Structure 1
Amino acid sequence: MTIARVLTIAGSDSGGGAGIQADLRTFAIHCVHGMSAITCVTAQNTQGVMRVDALPAEAVVAQIAAVQGDIGITAAKTGMLLNGEIITAVAAHLAQFPVAHLVVDPVMVSRSGAELLAAEAVTALRDRLFPLATLLTPNRYEAQILAQQEITDLAMMEQAARRIYDDTGIAVLIKGGGFRGELQGTDVWYDGETLEVLTTVAVQTPHTHGTGCTLSAAIAAHLALGHDLKASITGGKAYVTQALHHAIAIGQGTGPIGHFFPLLSQG
């Protein structure tokens, strides 16, 4: 039996809602073999992040090389890379040993607007890692930084998508999950030729932890299964929407989405 193999290069979430924990659950439900290269260890729960400890850049690359040299990587995604040293090391390795499909979730700014990367790390991300990507999946705030413009409406989302593509040459999916009102649930995809507005009915739930991680992981899984980029994006978006419908109310804060909802009907 052969199986598609997908690697996540991201941080560990001790609360299990986001990061590699969310990614591996997403890979499992899509019937691909999930692997991980951990960039940092976080102490967090549904109420927030208490501590973040980065792994040495060499340790991150060693994890990638270990699975790539033996098991092989059909597709990969990156999440929280945390600092410029890790970004540069990961990009250097993937430039030398490329993967067929790489989904880059920039993880520069949280959905609440909190900055997660220093300016020099953002530069490394843009200059070193983006050129290796198949798709970029910035949220609203990250897209504002990358496009160097404000985004307050759909026309601005479309303009930003074009600007990011023109600057990077990489297909981009701007996520609208951080918006309120009519743009909530609206994403914009542009690949240099086709610009599409992808809309779903917004799911009203306070439990959204891990949404961005899950989307990029689902897209990577679809790519590994041989689906084209458009089908991978729409398939990933549909999966996240259903996972939001089955979000889990645990802890005292923002709970995770329900990654294993397809199993619920099986008893």
Structure 2
Amino acid sequence: MDNLKQFPEALTIAGNDSGGGAGMEADIKTMQACKTFSTNVLVGITAQNTLGVQDIYPLPEKIINQQFQSVFSDFEIKAAKTGALFDGEHVSIVVKNIMKYRIEKLVVDPVMIAKGGAHLLTDEAVATLKNELLPHAYLLTPNLPEAELLSGQEIKKNEEIVKVANSLQLMGAKNVIIKGGHAKGEKVFDFVKIANQDGYWLQSNRIRTSRTHGTGDTLSAAITAFLAQEKDLTTSIKLAHQYLHSIIEKPFIVGHGHGPLNHGGW
């Protein structure tokens, strides 16, 4: 048994989803499905289901700091991701720990609004996220509305997505993927901009389903899982894209609203 190979370990820094479809629960399920062990730092608690978010309670700084210490004193974290961070104070708390524990392979999913419309990031926290967290992002993964809000630029066509991706890099994110699921059409186009390379598009057929709760969390968690396996970023994004498309194609019926993904269906 002593000859067992070290299993890849990753970290999710986020809020929970008591309905199990998004947030930390989606991250953990995704990482496990993608063959990576998931540790977690819980930043806040939500009362949530497929119908919406009923309540939010950000946790005190002391217990957040203690979670970071517990994780990094025991596990070999190869990559990490952030999810919902709720307000400016908690963004700053997380950034201090990112710096303290020297997290380099950090995927920042700027979770702002839940699928049902509830705000998971206050307006004042957006500025804190831009000024303090973005410069630590190895990869930034906004959807179209999030990309517009972060950049202050409107997106109506593909050329503007490219322009916004470049702007987000100038704000500090080393690499960017802008997710195009909110656009209309039978095809979904995600734009990837890696460091100083030319950007490229990832294309997939749109699957008509209401069971897409937690898609953003799931994609960013899958990328993080593959980065923890020490795959390069391009490969990690490609594999995560394939994983997400695959499980959207295999829905199951849970809840009465925006249903969750079948994370184990890969």
In 2: Cα distance, 1:21 partner to 1:162 partner: 32
Q: Is the 8 A contact 1:79 1:105 kept in 2?
A: yes
Q: Check 1:70–1:224 CA distance in 2 against 1; reply closer, same or farther (3 A cut).
A: same
Q: Which residue of 2 aligns with 1:199?
A: 203
1:100-111 to structure 2, matched below 5 A, reads: 100-110=104-114
Amino acid corresponding to residue 242 of structure 2 in structure 1: A
Q: Is the 8 A contact 1:8 1:77 kept in 2?
A: yes
Q: Which residue of 2 aligns with 1:237?
A: 241
Q: Does 1:189 align with 2:179?
A: no
Q: Check 1:45–1:113 CA distance in 2 against 1; reply closer, same or farther (3 A cut).
A: closer
Please state how far the C-alpha of 1:109 moved relative to its aligned partner.
3.6
Helix, strand or coil at the partner of 1:203: coil
Amino acid corresponding to residue 262 of structure 2 in structure 1: G
Unaligned runs of 5+ in 1: 263-267
Please state how far the C-alpha of 1:202 moved relative to its aligned partner.
1.1
In 2: Cα distance, 1:174 partner to 1:106 partner: 11
TM-score (norm 2): 0.93
In 1: Cα distance, 2:162 partner to 2:216 partner: 19
Please state how far the C-alpha of 1:4 moved relative to its aligned partner.
0.8
Please state how far the C-alpha of 1:111 moved relative to its aligned partner.
5.7
Q: Is the 8 A contact 2:52 2:115 kept in 1?
A: no
1:105-124 to structure 2, matched below 5 A, reads: 105-110=109-114, 115-124=119-128
Q: Does 1:61 align with 2:65?
A: yes
Q: Does 1:166 align with 2:166?
A: no
Unaligned runs of 5+ in 2: none
Q: Check 1:14–1:112 CA distance in 2 against 1; reply closer, same or farther (3 A cut).
A: closer
Please state how far the C-alpha of 1:5 moved relative to its aligned partner.
0.6
In 2: Cα distance, 1:167 partner to 1:36 partner: 27
Runs ≥4 residues deviating over 6 A: none
Q: Which residue of 1 aligns with 2:48?
A: 44
Count of equivalent residues: 261
Helix, strand or coil at the partner of 2:73: helix
Q: Which residue of 2 aligns with 1:258?
A: 262
User: Deviations along 1:166-213, whole A, 9 cap, x unmatched?
Assistant: 22242110011112215x521111123220111111111111001000
Please state how far the C-alpha of 1:30 moved relative to its aligned partner.
1.4
Q: Which residue of 1 aligns with 2:83?
A: 79
Amino acid corresponding to residue 57 of structure 1 in structure 2: E
Q: Is the 8 A contact 2:104 2:136 kept in 1?
A: no
Q: Which residue of 2 aligns with 1:222?
A: 226
The structure 2 residue matched to 1:135, chosen from 134, 139, 162, is 139
Name whichever structure is richer in helix by fraction: 1
- In angstroms, what is the RMSD of aligned CA positions? 1.5
Percent identity over paired residues: 39
Helix, strand or coil at the partner of 2:104: coil
Q: Is the 8 A contact 2:17 2:24 kept in 1?
A: yes
Please state how far the C-alpha of 1:123 moved relative to its aligned partner.
1.5
Please state how far the C-alpha of 1:143 moved relative to its aligned partner.
0.3
In 1: Cα distance, 2:253 partner to 2:91 partner: 34
The structure 2 residue matched to 1:5, chosen from 2, 9, 20, is 9
